[in-house]
């Protein structure tokens, strides 16, 4: 999340309280569905496309989060394809990549960089 280009537009998503600790929720930003994940212990936030590229389902925000080694990940609830929340790369052996977005918290509000 360090290499954010200066032309990132920060869009206000929702108050921190609207999200779920150690889980995901979807937000709608300019018509695009984005999944936002919150790892409460480390106070880490991640955001990715909500769509799983495997079957095109808008589902990742409804998946379970976790780690593989040190890599934070989410598992699609449909067929359990897992994706790194850092790189967006599929971790379960397929050649998919999902888009990731930078997240920042200001005044107890979650902003997504698009």
Partner 1 sequence: MDTKKQKLIVVGNGMTGYKFCEKFVEKGLGEKYEIIVFGEEPWAAYDRVHLTDYYTGTSIYDLKLAPRTWYEENNITLLTSAKIVEINREQKEVTAQDGKAYAYDTLILSTGSSAFVPPIPGIDKEGVFVYRTIEDLEAIKAYIPKATKAAVIGGGLLGLEAAKAVMDDGLKTAVVEFAPRLMPRQLDDAGSQMLQAELEKLDLEILLSKSTRQIAGNGKVEAMEFADETTLEVDMVVVSAGIKPRDELAAKAGLEVGPRGGIVVDNKNQTSDPNIFAIGECALSNGMIWGLVAPCYDMAEVTASNLAGDDKTFDGADLSTKLKLIGIEVASFGDAFGQTDGAKPIVYQNLTNGLYKKIFVSEDKQRLLGGILVGDTSDYNMLFQTYKSALKLPAAPESMVMSGIEGGGMEISVLDLPDEAVICSCENVTKKRLVEAIDEHEITNVGQIKKCTKAGTGCGGCMPMLDDLFTAKLAASGKVVKKVICEHFDYTRQELFDLIKIGGIKTYPELLKKYGKGKGCELCKPVAASLLASIWNEFITKHSTIQDSNDKFLANIQKGGTYSVVPRIPGGEITPDKLIAIGAVAKKYDLYTKITGGQRIDLFGARVEELPLIWKELIDAGFESGHAYGKSLRTVKSCVGSTWCRYGQQDSVSFAIKVEERYKGLRSPHKLKGGVSGCIRECAEARGKDFGIIATEKGYNLYVCGNGGANPKHALLFATDIDEDTCIKYLDRFLMYYVRTAGPLVRTAKWLEQLDGGLDYLKQVVIEDSLGLGEELEADMQKIIDTFQCEWRSVVESPEQLKKFRPFVNAGATDDSIKFVPMRDQKRPANWDEIVTAEKVSEPA
Binding residues (CB under 8 A) for partner 1: these are: 13-14, 18-23, 25-29, 33, 36, 39, 41, 51, 53-59, 62-70, 72-73, 75, 77-78, 80, 82, 93, 95-97
- Nearer to partner 1 among residue 93 and residue 106 (C-beta): 93
Minimum CB distance to partner 1, residue 107 (Å): 15
Calculate the alpha carbon distances from 44 to 21, 50, 80 in Å: 10, 18, 23
What contacts 50, CB < 8 A, 6 or more positions away? 26, 33, 34, 35, 58, 59, 60, 61
- Nearer to partner 1 among residue 10 and residue 39 (C-beta): 39
- Nearer to partner 1 among residue 8 and residue 97 (C-beta): 97
- Nearer to partner 1 among residue 8 and residue 44 (C-beta): 44
What is the C-alpha to C-alpha distance for residues 52 and 70, in angstroms, rounded to an integer? 22
Minimum CB distance to partner 1, residue 104 (Å): 15
Minimum CB distance to partner 1, residue 105 (Å): 15
Going across the sheet that includes 109-113, the strands are: 10-15, 109-113, 103-106
Angle at 37 between CA 62 and CA 89, to 5 degrees: 85
């Amino acid at each position: 999340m360090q290499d954010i280009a200066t032309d990132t537009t920060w869009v206000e998503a929702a108050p921190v309280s609207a999200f779920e600790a150690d889980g995901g929720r979807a937000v709608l930003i300019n018509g695009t569905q984005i999944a936002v994940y919150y790892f409460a212990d480390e106070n880490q936030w991640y955001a990715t496309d909500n769509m799983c590229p495997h079957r095109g389902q808008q589902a990742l925000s409804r998946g379970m989060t976790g780690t593989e080694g040190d890599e934070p990940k989410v598992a699609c609830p449909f067929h359990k394809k897992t994706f790194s929340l850092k790189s967006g790369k599929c971790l379960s052996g397929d050649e998919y990549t999902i888009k990731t977005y930078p997240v920042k918290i200001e005044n107890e509000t979650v902003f997504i960089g698009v």
